[in-house]
Every structure is written in C-alpha cells, then in structure tokens.
Structure 1
Amino acid sequence: MLKKTKFISITCALFLCTSINAKEMNLDEILDIALKNNTNIQVSKYQEEIKTQELKKAKSAYLPKVNASADIGNYDIEASGVTQEGDATSVTLSASQLIYDFGKTSNSIDASKYNLEASSSEIQTSKKDTILSIKEAYYDILNKYQQIIVSKEAVSLDELQLSQANEYFKAGVRTKIDVINAQLNLSNSKLKLVQTNYDLKIAKTKLISLLGSSSDEQIDVKFDNKDISSLAKSIKIEDEKLDNLINKAFDNRSELQKYKALIKTNKASFNSAKAEYYPTIDVSASYSDKNSDDISSLEQTQTAVLLNLKWDLFTGDTTSANKKISLANLSTSKKQFEQQKLQIRQDVTSAYLNLEQSFESIKINLLSLDLSTRNLNLADERYKAGLNDLLEVNDAKLEYTKSKTNLVNAYYTYLSNTAKLEYSLGISK
C-alpha cells in the first residue's frame, strides 16, 4: 500500500511540472492566435477570394474583347486549267464590345456581388464559431485547474486524517482499522489527483487543435489563483428581456446576413436567366491583311465594322431550365432564411435560460459548500472527542469535496453559458 501511495505521489509531481516551461497566455492572446490560424477561418477566406474573382470575371463581360491571329501556309490552286502554287501569310485583328443584352450581364454581376457578400458573412460566422469554441476550451482548462486544487485539498485532508489516525492508534484510543481506512482514502485521493491532471492535459490538447497553429511552442493559460468561492460570489447577471435579446440577435447574426445576400443572389440569377430570352447586341470591328509573293489572287486587305444582333430562338429548353433552377434556388434561400430565424430564436432562448439556471446553481452550490464546510468541521471535532468514528468524517469530507467540485463546475458552466449567449446574439468579441 505504501509503495503504491509513493508511486502515485511521484506521478502527481511529474504531471504538475509538465507546464513549467509553457508560455502563459490570457484569453485575448489565445483568441488572437486562433483568429489568425484557425483552419475553418482560412478556408472561409479562400472561398471569399474565389467569389471575388468570380465578380471580376462577371464584370469583364462589359470590357471589349480583342483577338489577333496569324498564319502561314502553302496553297495549290487550280482554276480554268491553270495551276498556281505558293506560300501566303495573313494577319487578322478583331475586337468586339457588348452594347446591350437586356440585363443578362448586369444581373450576373449583381449575383456575383451578392455571392461575395454571403461569403464575407460566412467568414464572420467562422470567426464567431471559433471564438465560442476557444472560450469553451479555455474555461474547460480553468475548470480542470480548479479541480486539481480541489483534489490537492482532498489529499491534504486525507494526509491530516492519516496522521491523526496514527497518533490515536499509538495512544491506544483508536483501532488499526482507522489507520487502514485513512490510508485507503489517501490513496484514492491521490489517484483522483492523477486523473484530474490527465483531464487537464486532454483539455489543453483540444485547445491546441482549435488554434490551428503548427508551432511546437507549448501554450498554457493564465490561471486566476483566487478561491473558487470568491470567484463565484463576484458574478452578476444582467436583467434583460428575452424578446429584446432575440431582436438583437436578428440584427447581429451573420447567418441571417448570409441568407439575405443569397436571396439577392438568386433573384439576380433568376433575372439573368429570364434575359436569355432576349437578343444580345454588340459591335465588332476587324482588320485582315493577306500577302503572297507567288499567288496574286490571294493578296487582299479587308476592314469591317459591324453592329451585331444575336437572338437564340431555340436552345433546347436550356433557358427554361436555367430559369427554373434559379427560381428553385431563390425559394430555397428564402426557406433557409426563415429556418435560420427560428434556429436563432431557439439558440437565444436556450442560452438565456441556461445562463439563468447556472446563475441559480452557483447560489445553491455556494450555500451547499458553506454547509458542508461546517459539517466537516463538526465531524472532525466529534472524531477528536471520540463521539463518532472515521466513517462519519469520511462522509463529511466527501460531501465537502463534492460541494466544492460542483461549485467549480457551476462557475465555469456559467462562464461558458455567458459565451454561448453572446454567440447566439452575434456579439462575440
């Protein structure tokens, strides 16, 4: 038993030393790293760049198109029984400019512009998702730090209890079973300390994965050494009506901005598809110069300026299909917008109620901790006076440790729920 206890103590010490060389950062510093390196944000930015180039591509339809071509070839011409053979070269320059296409191009440009707006909103959504995930991981790490403190305190209490049991046994006041029970409790407390240290390492690993950085530099969070009771007593909750919060979320959530932009995109795409029923008018100019030293009939120079009208009278129902696709996409984006509003209402309501619940839980857990502390002190005094056995002290200690653990969980749940409410309102950082 003593060898096992010694091994657990050494393991605890090794775990507690793992983060000595880590760089300590506060929440804002960690968020800065995540916003620069998170892979989801980077992917959203690449998508925005794609939409930017698509907009440039759509606008290019209004720019003139210039082409040049040159060729050289050998000709063998037979006419009226006379054969001519020789080389010829030609150079051709041509240009065209769109004049009017009944809104097909302008609506295509608008669709690309609104797609870019939707992509920008998607970046904001990715950033807010990342901020929420980082905050949750950050508070989870702080929770694990506090749980280690609770576990250390449990070890200290059990060490003191073992010392007392040994003294009472030597004095003949208590039996050997008290010493054995105290040793068992101490061993279990040290095992719990090892487990909480493992939990901390796992929580840190999750944070590193969210940062999106390939740096080998070890990162740790700055820990507030204040007692959990002091931290819990310092919290306050703002009294704001739920309906006001929901309306605020409707104004701020980037998801709604995204679907508003997509609705505009699909309206413009629909108008562009309808314009395919109408002709396209453009102007073109060309210059051609053909030379041959061997065949005089091939020598020619030609210049032309033309006003062109192109009307696709039948395209195999392509125009009709494009129109129906655009209309279906428009209907889909409208439904997605309405569904997103319902989801936001649910998010805000759930976050609001969860925050209130965690606030009430903190108040109850503070009371429970106070009562369990007094109960533990009374049980310890009764044990010293010989009025109870070690079992009552152990039960009181377990209730005390449980109350403190619950308070730690309630406090950091409150912080996480605060972050979730901010996220649901669209006001994260």
Structure 2
Amino acid sequence: MRLIPLLLLLCAPLAAQPAAPTAESYTLTAYVQAALEKSPEVRQARESSQAAAYQWKSQFAAATLPTLGFTLQGPFYGHSTLNDYRFNVWRMERQDMSAATSLNLNLFNSFQDYLKTRQSRLSRDSSLESLRSVTQSRSFEALRAFYDLDLKLSLQDVTDQNLAAQAEQYRLTEELYRNGMKSLSDLLKSETDWRSAEQRLAAAVADTKSSLVTFNILIERDPFSPAALKADLDPGATVLPQVALDLARALAQKPDVLKARRDLERAQAGLDLALQGMTPTLAVNATLSRADLGPGRPANPNPYYQLGLSLSAPFNFNFASQYFNYRASAAEKKRSAAALASAERTVTSDLHSAYIVLERAYKTYHITSQKEVIASRNLAIVNERYKQGSADVITLAQAQLDYLSARVDRAQALHEAFINRALYKLAVGDPLW
C-alpha cells in the first residue's frame, strides 16, 4: 500500500503536462477561403473598390438630384438693411431677419455631368477588376501553400518509411554478418545508409515545418500549429487544354486586361471633359424659391420658379491652363493605351508559359509513375537476392535509393501537376476561389 502514494507522486508531473494540440483539418476550398478572409491585400483592394463605388454614387446623385437650400440671416449688431437701417445692439428682431428656401435642378450643362459620372463609373469598374486580380493572386498563393505543405508531409512520410527500411536492412545485415554471410564492411555500409536515412528525415521534418509556418501565417494561426490536410490528389484527365481558344478567353476576362481597358475608357472620358472645358458651356437650370421672413420678401408670387438658359465662355484669362490640361489628358490616354497593349502582351506570354509548364508537369508525372513501379519491382528482386546472399549491400543500397528517389519524384510531379493546372487557370482568368 505504501507504493500507491509513490506512484501517484511519480505520475503527477506527467499528468500536469499539457496535451499536444490537435491538428485542425483543412480542405483546399476551405483553406483558400480562410486565406482570402485573412489577407490584408484583399481587404485593402475591397475597401478601395467600395470607396470607388461610393464616389460613383455621389457623383451620380450630384448629377441627377436637385439641390435643396435653406437660408436664414439677420444682423444682431449694426444697421439693418431690411428695417430702414435701424441700428441693432446685440439683438435680433423678426423684421430684421430674412429666410429663403430654394430648389435648384440642372437640366443640361453641355454633358459635363455625364462625362464626370462616366469617369467615376469607370473608376469603380477599374477598382473591381483590381479586386479580382488581387483575389486571384492571393488564391493562387494559398493554393500553392496548401499543396506545398501536403507535398512536404508526403515526403516526410516517404522518408520515414525509408528510414524504417534502412533500419530493417541494418538488422538483416547484422544477422547475416553474425552468420558469416556478410563482411564487416557490409555491416558498416548498412549502418552508414541507416544514418544517412536519419539525416534525410531530419531535413524532411525541417522542410515540413517551414511549409507549415507559411501555411499558418496565411490564415493567421500560430506558425507551429499542426494542420491535417484533406487533399484530393486524383489527377483525373491529364489532357492538355487548347491554348488558342483559351487565349481569346483570357483576353476577354483576365482582370488585368479588363482593368487596362477601363482605364483607357476613363482616360478618353477625361480627354473629352478637358476638350469640353475649352468650349463654351450651355446650361439649362430650373429654380424654385420661396422667401418667408423679412420685409424684402415678395408678396406675389411666393414661391416663384424660373427656367434659365446660360451660355458661358471659358476664355477668362485661363486658356493656357485649359490647353495644358487638354494636353495632359491626351498624354494620359496614350499612356493608358500603351498599358493595355502591355497587359495583352503579358497575358499572351503568361498563358503560353503556363501551357508549357503544364505540359511538362503532365509528362513528368506519367514518367515518374512508371519509374516508381519499375524501382519498386527492382527493390523487391534485390531484397530477395540479398536475403539469399547473392546480392551485396551496395546493390541493395542503390536499389533502395532508386526507389526512394522514384517515390519522391512522383510525389513532387503529382503536386506540381495540380499547382501548374491552377497556374494555367490563373493565366486564363478563371476564378480560383
């Protein structure tokens, strides 16, 4: 009975240790969505897009809605012009005050409001395309981090299995050495291969931790928090896409190209607005006014309304500034046209580069799959010969390294195929989220 307190005392430190954190499970879709929600770049682009949308609504309201104004004034010190210039000393009387209400609506102003509203709308559309572009790039970054961590976990598992195989080989070599079937050199070579496998496992664990840190930072988790991935690694059909058809689709839907087109249209609207500013402005305004206080208010009619026509020339000693403003707008249009041409050229280059990389990834995957099968068969044959004493330790070590290399190459090729498939979708402009 005296042993029970002693056992409890010895087990207390073990019970006090915190339990290892459980690995949270993620699918690719869930992880990409979580990364987009936590991305500062996406939030920044979204706020910029909302700001541009509110600016467009403000400009549209200013162009289409009437302006309502209220005015109440009266002197509280000095001579009152509304009451026979009577001198007021820190007081206000009803007969000294005037109040007016006005409602103004611009019906036409030589398309100035139309051009300004069009500029604002194109700025909104350009911001939306910027948001799409940022969302696409952040989605691809998250997708690559997901597959990279899954690859590193797979390689760590392969390396761990290789370590177990090397340890088993050492035990077998040690037994054969004791029975006089292997030399001391074979035993030392086997142990060297075992230690090399331990070294490879340590490197694989470090690579996994590095990928885990990147994985967690994108979703704002603790960098070393474990994660369990549910990756669908069925490659499916590995038929190459039709790059000629996809190029036309990319030029029609890629966010970078659409943004450049909206910027060019906005520059054209700015040029039209600058040109309009150099010509006379014809305006039609409707006004409804009412005066309520003071002796100066009209007796009849009240309220009164007007429909006015005005023509104003812009040559008020500022023709030079208007001319230079026009030249600046023309230069901005040329810059936007060059930016559009550059964006289209970049899309063409990126799409064909992504096609070449995807083609290589598919071929590499098929080759490495065959290579793994061949290396597995060869290792089984060499293992059997080694147990029978007809194969030396160097041949067995080479067969194990070939099989390890084949498994690593296949895992890398499989993950590269998924990443490059997503890269091709990114180049086409198909959504990744």
Tell me which interval the TM-score lies in, with the shorter structure as reference length: 0.7 to 0.9
Structure 2 counterparts to residues 349-388 of structure 1, below 5 A: 349-388=352-391
C-alpha distance 428-75 of structure 1, shift in aligned 2 (>3 A):
closer
Q: CA deviation at 1:216?
A: 11
Q: Give structure 2 stretches of 5+ with no counterpart.
A: 1-18, 90-95
Q: Indicate conservation of the 8 Å contact 2:358/2:420, yes or no.
A: yes
Amino acid at match of 1:167: E
Q: Indicate conservation of the 8 Å contact 2:213/2:224, yes or no.
A: no
C-alpha distance 136-22 of structure 1, shift in aligned 2 (>3 A):
same
- Map Cα deviations across residues 371-396 of structure 1 (whole Å, 9 max, x no partner): 33333334334433444432232222
Moved more, 411-420 or 318-327: 318-327
Q: Which residue number corresponds to residue 32 of structure 2?
A: 31
Q: Which of the numbers 67, 91, 94 marks the counterpart of 2:69?
A: 67
| Matched residue count | 395
Q: CA deviation at 1:100?
A: 2.1
Q: Indicate conservation of the 8 Å contact 1:373/1:400, yes or no.
A: yes
Q: Which of the numbers 204, 208, 212 marks the counterpart of 1:204?
A: 212
CA distance in 2, matches of 1:35, 1:100: 45
C-alpha distance 159-20 of structure 1, shift in aligned 2 (>3 A):
farther
- Map Cα deviations across residues 161-202 of structure 1 (whole Å, 9 max, x no partner): 110122122223333343333233222212322322222222
Amino acid at match of 1:44: A
Instruction: Establish whether residue 107 from structure 1 lines up as the match of residue 110 from structure 2.
Output: no
Q: Which residue number corresponds to residue 327 of structure 1?
A: 330
C-alpha distance 212-325 of structure 1, shift in aligned 2 (>3 A):
farther
Give the secondary-structure state (helix, strand or coil) at the position aligned to 1:67: strand
Amino acid at match of 2:67: K
What's the TM-score, normalizing by structure 1? 0.82
Q: CA deviation at 1:28?
A: 1.6
Q: Indicate conservation of the 8 Å contact 2:176/2:182, yes or no.
A: yes
Q: Which residue number corresponds to residue 172 of structure 2?
A: 164
CA distance in 1, matches of 2:149, 2:179: 45
Q: CA deviation at 1:154?
A: 0.9
Moved more, 48-57 or 278-287: 278-287
Q: Which residue number corresponds to residue 400 of structure 2?
A: 397
Amino acid at match of 1:351: A
Amino acid at match of 1:45: R
Q: Indicate conservation of the 8 Å contact 1:372/1:400, yes or no.
A: yes
Q: Which residue number corresponds to residue 242 of structure 1?
A: 243
C-alpha distance 53-318 of structure 1, shift in aligned 2 (>3 A):
farther
Moved more, 118-127 or 317-326: 317-326
Q: Which residue number corresponds to residue 254 of structure 1?
A: 255
Amino acid at match of 1:258: K
Q: Which residue number corresponds to residue 10 of structure 2?
A: none
C-alpha distance 321-285 of structure 1, shift in aligned 2 (>3 A):
farther
- Map Cα deviations across residues 216-261 of structure 1 (whole Å, 9 max, x no partner): 986432256x8xxxx5xx6432244321221222233122222222
Instruction: Establish whether residue 423 from structure 1 lines up as the match of residue 429 from structure 2.
Output: no
Q: CA deviation at 1:316?
A: 5.3
Identity across the alignment (%): 15
Q: Indicate conservation of the 8 Å contact 2:379/2:399, yes or no.
A: yes
CA distance in 2, matches of 1:216, 1:101: 63
CA distance in 1, matches of 2:32, 2:150: 15
C-alpha distance 74-20 of structure 1, shift in aligned 2 (>3 A):
closer
Q: Indicate conservation of the 8 Å contact 2:386/2:392, yes or no.
A: yes
Q: Which of the numbers 148, 151, 155 marks the counterpart of 1:140?
A: 148
- Map Cα deviations across residues 131-161 of structure 1 (whole Å, 9 max, x no partner): 2222211111221121012101211111111
Moved more, 243-252 or 410-419: 243-252
- Map Cα deviations across residues 65-123 of structure 1 (whole Å, 9 max, x no partner): 3333424331159xxxxx96325444444443323221111111011112111222222
Q: Which of the numbers 135, 143, 147 marks the counterpart of 1:127?
A: 135
Give the secondary-structure state (helix, strand or coil) at the position aligned to 1:21: coil
Q: CA deviation at 1:262?
A: 1.8
CA distance in 2, matches of 1:248, 1:160: 56
CA distance in 2, matches of 1:376, 1:218: 34
CA distance in 1, matches of 2:296, 2:236: 91
Q: Which residue number corresponds to residue 294 of structure 1?
A: none
Q: Indicate conservation of the 8 Å contact 2:216/2:223, yes or no.
A: no
Q: Indicate conservation of the 8 Å contact 1:259/1:337, yes or no.
A: yes
CA distance in 1, matches of 2:228, 2:336: 43
- Map Cα deviations across residues 334-369 of structure 1 (whole Å, 9 max, x no partner): 222221111111111111111111111122222322
CA distance in 1, matches of 2:322, 2:291: 36
C-alpha distance 285-98 of structure 1, shift in aligned 2 (>3 A):
same
CA distance in 1, matches of 2:290, 2:76: 19
CA distance in 2, matches of 1:94, 1:427: 53
Moved more, 325-334 or 66-75: 66-75
CA distance in 2, matches of 1:120, 1:424: 18
C-alpha distance 408-215 of structure 1, shift in aligned 2 (>3 A):
closer
Q: CA deviation at 1:32?
A: 2.6
Moved more, 359-368 or 51-60: 359-368
CA distance in 1, matches of 2:424, 2:173: 50
Q: CA deviation at 1:23?
A: 1.8
Instruction: Establish whether residue 192 from structure 1 lines up as the match of residue 169 from structure 2.
Output: no
Give the secondary-structure state (helix, strand or coil) at the position aligned to 2:25: strand
Q: CA deviation at 1:205?
A: 2.3
CA distance in 1, matches of 2:222, 2:179: 61
Moved more, 181-190 or 267-276: 181-190
Indicate the RMSD between aligned Cα atoms, in angstroms. 3.1
Q: Indicate conservation of the 8 Å contact 1:115/1:261, yes or no.
A: yes
C-alpha distance 68-405 of structure 1, shift in aligned 2 (>3 A):
same
Give the secondary-structure state (helix, strand or coil) at the position aligned to 2:218: helix
Q: Which residue number corresponds to residue 300 of structure 1?
A: 296
Q: CA deviation at 1:31?
A: 2.4
Amino acid at match of 2:64: Y
Q: CA deviation at 1:416?
A: 0.8
Q: Indicate conservation of the 8 Å contact 1:262/1:333, yes or no.
A: yes
